[in-house]
Amino acid sequence: MAIVVDLHVQLARHGLSVGAFAAAVGITPANIAVLKNGRAKAIRFTTLDAICRTLDCQPGDILRWVPDDPRAPDGSAGPGHPGSPGGLGGHGGPGGTNGARGGTA
């Protein structure tokens, strides 16, 4: 799975430069660039709140989830997908990789 940051769309919509946006949000332009270029591993809720306040938008306007390709490079079903040896791997269900009990990772 991948979380895609569409910050550039909102910046263009509002006509904001990275520098002006960073100053308004209260973080460095370098950190805005990390978000904008998809290199961020996490984002603090306080930062997300400041971004949404500045852009007058919802988190879903700048963040979206894109599923992984369900096929492994060799053409077989990848782990965690129905039809693979792991069954519902990663979901904790029958045949999953999180043990016999249900739950989430």
Task: Give yes or no for a contact between 35 and 48, defined as CB atoms under 8 angstroms apart.
Answer: no
In this prediction, residues 7-23 reach a mean pLDDT of: 95
Single-letter residue type at 61: D
Beta strands in the chain (DSSP E): 2-5, 63-66
pLDDT for 1 equals: 61
pLDDT over 90 for what percent of the chain? Answer: 61
**Residue that wins the pLDDT comparison between 51 and 1:** 51
Task: Give yes or no for a contact between 102 and 94, defined as CB atoms under 8 angstroms apart.
Answer: no
For the cut 50, the answer to whether the pLDDT of residue 95 exceeds it is no
Tens digits of residue pLDDT in 43-70? 999 999 999 999 999 999 999 999 987 6
In this prediction, residues 67-96 reach a mean pLDDT of: 51
Distance CA 7, CA 33 (A): 10
In this prediction, residues 69-96 reach a mean pLDDT of: 49
User: What residue ranges define each of the domains in the chain, with the CATH number in brackets?
Assistant: 2-66 (1.10.260.40), 68-100 (no CATH)
**Residue that wins the pLDDT comparison between 21 and 74:** 21
User: For all residues of the chain together, what is the average pLDDT?
Assistant: 78
Tell me the sheet residues that pair with 77: 71
Distance CA 80, CA 98 (A): 11
